[in-house]
């Protein structure tokens, strides 16, 4: 079974490699939907599906995995920050509060079958002043991360607790993916 990860995310690659899943990375440019009126699972699912379908159209013999992760606070999505000021704004908004991280995964199987799912985790941030936020941004490259933070990089500085799958917060709920692929019980 040839597996293609339709994502350039180094975090998703690391999670797949950690599980020993043989795969290659191929991506195709897709336009992301950013409609804040959609529920988290639906918005992420649309984007994950578009990524997987674009690659599967050129590789119908392969299992193609597309994923999309967004951070939601008060029902609205926080994508990747536009710049450092936007990252600081996002971290200020998240500090001292619990937010939802939703990852949707679209799996295109050979023969056209789709196996899709979405996972939610809840992350509570510590209270932080502007100096703590600036320190975190100095330590972690946040501009390519939804919500302007990385669970796997110095999360002890910002995260108080996580309810749910930590891998989901990083960007790919691997245990559930392995079940969907039939690789683990």
Is 144 known to be catalytic? Answer: no
CA–CA distance, 75 with 110 (Å, rounded to integer): 35
Q: Any idea which residue has 């000021």 for tokens? A: 85
Residues in Cβ contact with 5 at an 8 Å cutoff, skipping those fewer than 6 apart: 12, 13, 16, 23, 24, 25, 26, 65
Name the active-site residue from 68, 86, 129, 144: 68
CATH number at residue 12: 3.90.950.10
pLDDT at 60: 96
- Over the chain (185 residues), the average pLDDT of each successive run of 10 is 94 95 94 86 95 97 96 89 96 97 97 95 97 96 92 94 97 95 81
pLDDT at 1: 82
Q: Which of 25-30's residues contact partners 24+ apart within 8 Å by CB, and which partners?
A: 26/55, 26/59, 27/51, 27/55, 28/54, 28/55, 28/58, 29/54, 30/54
Domain that holds residue 136: 3-181
Domain count, the chain: 1
């Amino acid at each position: 079974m040839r597996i293609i990860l339709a994502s350039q995310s180094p975090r998703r690659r690391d999670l797949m490699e950690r599980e020993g899943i043989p795969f290659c990375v191929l991506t195709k440019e897709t336009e992301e939907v950013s409609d804040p009126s959609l529920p988290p699972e639906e918005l992420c699912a649309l984007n994950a599906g578009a990524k997987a379908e674009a690659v599967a159209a050129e590789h119908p013999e392969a299992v193609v995995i597309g994923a999309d992760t967004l951070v939601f606070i008060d029902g609205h999505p926080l994508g990747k920050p536009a710049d450092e000021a936007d990252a600081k704004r996002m971290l200020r908004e998240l500090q001292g509060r619990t937010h939802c991280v939703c990852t949707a995964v679209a799996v295109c199987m050979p023969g056209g079958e789709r196996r899709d799912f979405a996972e939610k985790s809840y992350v509570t941030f510590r209270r932080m002043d502007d100096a703590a936020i600036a320190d975190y941004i100095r330590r972690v490259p946040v501009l390519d991360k939804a919500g302007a933070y990385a669970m796997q990089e110095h999360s002890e500085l910002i995260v108080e607790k996580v309810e749910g799958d930590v891998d989901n917060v990083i960007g790919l709920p691997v245990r559930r993916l392995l079940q969907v692929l039939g690789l683990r019980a």
